[in-house]
Amino acid sequence: MFVVWFRMYPGDEESRWPREILLDRRVIQAWDEPKSAGRWFMSHLSDLRPSRGGDGRFPQRDDALWDSYLLFDRDAAWNSAPTGLLSWGFTVMRTRQKLAQDLRYALNHAR
């Protein structure tokens, strides 16, 4: 799992980033001050295929995709754009049931 953090609100800063939230050794976390990852995904959401959905709502007025999840298949690869997108959602809390459902789907089909 990759988790990318960056500044979206006043007060968001690397020194206050809550690294302790995700302590599993399989989680890789990074601070992305220029919001490169969020900006790329915001401008390329329609290019990500195949996808099982998401709830179709995302922050069209923001300059970066944030507070979101993107769930990829274990065979996903990144060339000009990542392949194997199973689902995505915004906000994480609003779409957490879909994330749980799709995560169960991915785990059951990965075996």
**In this model, does residue 45 exceed pLDDT 80?**
no
| pLDDT band of 31, cuts 50, 70, 90 | very high
Residue 95 scores a pLDDT above 60:
yes
Q: Count up the domains in the chain and report the number.
A: 1
Phi and psi dihedrals of 82, rounded to 5? -70, 145
CA pair distance 19, 3, nearest whole angstrom: 10
Average pLDDT, the chain: 83
State the Cα–Cα distance between residues 73 and 86, nearest whole angstrom: 6
Alpha helices, DSSP H only, in 1-111? Answer: 36-44, 96-109
CA distances from 41 to 6, 26, 102 (A): 14, 22, 20
Q: Which domain holds residue 15?
A: 2-109
